[in-house]
Amino acid sequence: MSAISFEVRGQDPTTRARLGTLTTPHGTVATPALCPVATQASVKSLTPDEVRDLGAELILANAYHLYLRPGADLVAEHGGLHRFMSWDGPIMTDSGGWQVFSLGFGLEHGVGKIASMFPDEDENRRPVRGQRPRMTRVDADGVTFTSHIDGSTHRFTPEISIGVQEKLGADLILAFDECTSPLHDAKYTAEALERTHRWARRCLDARTRPDQALIGIVQGGPFEELRRESAAEIAALPFDGYAVGGSLGRSKEEMRHVLDWSMSALPEDRFRHLLGIGEPEDIFDGVERGIDTFDCVTPTRLARHGTLYTPDGLIAIRNATFKEDFTPLDPGCGCYTCTTFTRAYLRHLFVAGELLAYTLATIHNLAFILGLMRRIREAIPAGALSDVRAEFAAHWRRIPALPVGEGEGGW
């Protein structure tokens, strides 16, 4: 008996996209869905009520961060993550694999989910300039790493990660894996993949809570053979659902291939998550390849940088262009920010360093991306997904260089 069930309720006629319902111990999630990220048990700058009112049904928290602070035991004594953060809906926790990667090789080489695009995926890490990167050491049994908070030494193994995630008590927990970088060669990636597959079996053996779903993760870097091998291997294990993880290549084009290979063997009747991806175009790519849920810090982090979604693309609200712009941020958007304030006021809040800026920007960016997910869910059973994508792409202009790094530090 699985803690979750997944029902496919509709299918796009021309792609693998499907409409679904994920049922968890804390409620259902209409898919395709995007989970806002609550790294440290808080979707940054929003109350859980605001997150709920925006229509989010599933959020993702971080085993690595919560293990370090406030500690998994404390969260368990508190009655688990749902009570701790006062979110009674479904929660997923990641296993710590990605965080260990991003503090190790990722930090050292400045690579992220898609190399050269997101050098700083771990939204709580302060950028380290002129310092040696923190050390991460992988062995056959697990990973030893230093805390990004105080430099203390810690160790995660599959068993420890599952133990931490059982204490946190999310509805969906992730297998502990080794994330390789797109800069790693095929030989190292194959070795790491073998570890990931062994760890996947150890995670399945270690789990004890029947009210949590354990999600297996497909790895294999940018290599077709390894991705296909991993998809087959992980699909053959009795996971409750599947996720595609790791770095997805060096370009959007490569990401699409990696996704195709990773999804090749994953069963159609199971829930499938894409880790750490959430830009609008990527969401379309993922949905068309049969991904059901996404998590990504991008909408909320961009918001805190003053980079806001509009149907025409991203705008930097601090820009002087908006100083006397007395129109709503996005006239077609029904969120609190757009129905209540003007671009000029939002710009003022950012320029003046007012905390309300972060809240209002986050509300809008989440409303935008969750609204896009809603349009996708409506389009799939109507056979209109390609129309929605074409209509979106006709307006959307991507700003080549996102202002990642600006204002980084505290948040």
Residues that are catalytic: 94, 295
Q: Which of 342, 391, 392, 403 binds a copy of itself (CB under 8 A)?
A: 342
Q: Does 324 bind a copy of itself (CB under 8 A)?
A: yes
Hey, which residues does 154 pair with through a beta bridge?
Answer: 145
154 binds a copy of itself (CB under 8 A): no
From residue 179, how far is each of 51, 189, 250, 325 by CA, in Å? 29, 9, 15, 45
Query: By C-beta, is 360 or 373 nearer to a copy of itself?
Result: 360
**Structure-derived torsion over alpha carbons of residues 148, 201, 218, 402, reported in degrees to the nearest 10:** -10
C-alpha 342/C-alpha 344 separation (Å) is 5
183 vs 351, beta carbon nearer a copy of itself: 351
- Considering only 323, 395, 397, 398, the residue that binds a copy of itself (CB under 8 A) is 323
Least distance (Å) from a copy of itself to the CB of residue 209? 21
What minimum distance in Å lies between the beta carbon of 189 and a copy of itself?
Answer: 34
> Which one among 2, 5, 55, 78 touches a copy of itself, defined by CB under 8 A?
78
Number of H helices, E strands in the chain: 16, 17
411 binds a copy of itself per the rule CB under 8 A: yes
Q: Closer to a copy of itself by CB, 194 or 325: give it.
A: 325
Residue 40 contacts a copy of itself per CB under 8 A = yes
Q: How far is the CB of 51 from a copy of itself (least distance, A)?
A: 10
The site string for a copy of itself over 107-136 (x = CB under 8 A, - otherwise) reads -----------------x------------
Q: How many residues bind a copy of itself (CB under 8 A)?
A: 42
Q: Applying CB under 8 A, does 30 fall inside the site for a copy of itself?
A: no
Options 358, 365, 371, 373; binder of a copy of itself; rule CB under 8 A: 358
Structure tokens belonging to residue 246: 């790791």
What is the SS3 assignment for 402? coil
Distances (CA, A) of 300 to 107, 155, 361: 21, 30, 8
| All residues at 6 or more sequence positions from 259 whose CB lies less than 8 Å from its CB, including other chains | 244, 248, 274, 285, 286, 289, 291
Query: Interface with a copy of itself includes 399 (CB under 8 A)?
Result: no
Residue 138: strand pairing partners? 143
DSSP 353: T
Kindly state the smallest distance separating residue 57's Cβ from a copy of itself, in Å. Answer: 19
Complex with a copy of itself: residue 188 or 341, whichever CB lies closer = 341
Instruction: Spell 163-177 as b/e; 16+ CB within 10 A means b.
Output: bbbbbbbbbbbbbbb
Least Å distance, CB 296 to a copy of itself, is 18
Largest CA distance in the chain: 61
Give the whole-angstrom CA distance, residue 45 versus residue 321.
Answer: 26
Distance (Å, whole) CA 297 – CA 285: 18
* Sign of CA pseudo-dihedral 349, 354, 358, 359: negative
Where on the chain is the footprint of a copy of itself (CB under 8 A)? 40-42, 44-49, 69-70, 74, 77-79, 84-86, 124, 323-324, 326, 336, 340-342, 344-345, 347-349, 351-356, 358-360, 410-411
